[in-house]
Chain A
Amino acid sequence: GAGVSQSPRYKVAKRGQDVALRCDPISGHVSLFWYQQALGQGPEFLTYFQNEAQLDKSGLPSDRFFAERPEGSVSTLKIQRTQQEDSAVYLCASSLSVTSGSMGYEQYFGPGTRLTVT
């Protein structure tokens, strides 16, 4: 079946521009996560949705970062007034609900969007 998809795969933005990154989770997956992966580092948590509810946004680095999932499926991560330090790969992951047993703890990752801010 189809996995998690992300678009665009690559994005080059000039400093100060706004960008929007899209994530299409696996159909039926209740939980959706966004992570930021800087070059040469492990991914770092940004935010988490359970259906359309954003339950944790503690990892968003500044108020320039905003995420939404209005219908509980597709999610968009928006970065306003991009800065060079925003350059990274942005990974989206989805999973079943934890009430689904052990399978609910497996996160399935998309290929990521590589953002370069010049």
Chain B
Amino acid sequence: AQSVTQLDSQVPVFEEAPVELRCNYSSSVSVYLFWYVQYPNQGLQLLLKYLSGSTLVKGINGFEAEFNKSQTSFHLRKPSVHISDTAEYFCAVSDQAAGNKLTFGGGTRVLVKP
């Protein structure tokens, strides 16, 4: 069985400061990893994904994430946040054997302060 742990439920950060959202997963098979963002009263939007290849993945809106197989982590980073980055962020894992259904972490709420 797969599981995803997002270590921080809330992350307050000042505008233009860097942010890192932590994600650890457990799985007995090779996995695909995703980060989604959810704005209030909206569905989830894909920020970036790791399927294979380079462990440093760049996504939309200036976000990037690094896959670390030995630490089973997939932390999300942004060097300089904007007010508009205030949202909930979800890390998710899937495996092809399970039909690509996603297992999500509990989410991290990012609040960007001016």
Contact pick for A91, options B32, B44, B45, B94, CB 8 Å: B44
| In the assembled complex, B70 has its CB within 8 A of some CB on chain A | no
Question: Taking A4-B43, A105-B32 as contacts, is the C-beta distance between A56 and B49 under 8 angstroms?
Answer: no
CA distance A50 to B103 in the complex (A): 18
**Chain B 1-34: CB-based contact to A (< 8 A → 1; otherwise 0):** 0001010000000000000000000000000100
Question: Taking A42-B105, A42-B106, A42-B107 as contacts, is the C-beta distance between A91 and B100 under 8 angstroms?
Answer: no
B97 CB to nearest chain A CB (Å): 11
Question: How many residues of A are in contact with the other chain, CB < 8 A?
Answer: 29
Contact, CB under 8 Å: A45 / B102: yes
The residue of chain B having its C-beta at the shortest distance from the C-beta of A46 within the complex is B101
Residues 69-107 of A contacting B (Cβ, < 8 Å)? 91, 93, 95, 98, 102, 104-107
B41 CB to nearest chain A CB (Å): 7
| In the assembled complex, B83 has its CB within 8 A of some CB on chain A | no
Question: Taking A42-B106, A42-B107, A102-B51 as contacts, is the C-beta distance between A109 and B44 under 8 angstroms?
Answer: yes
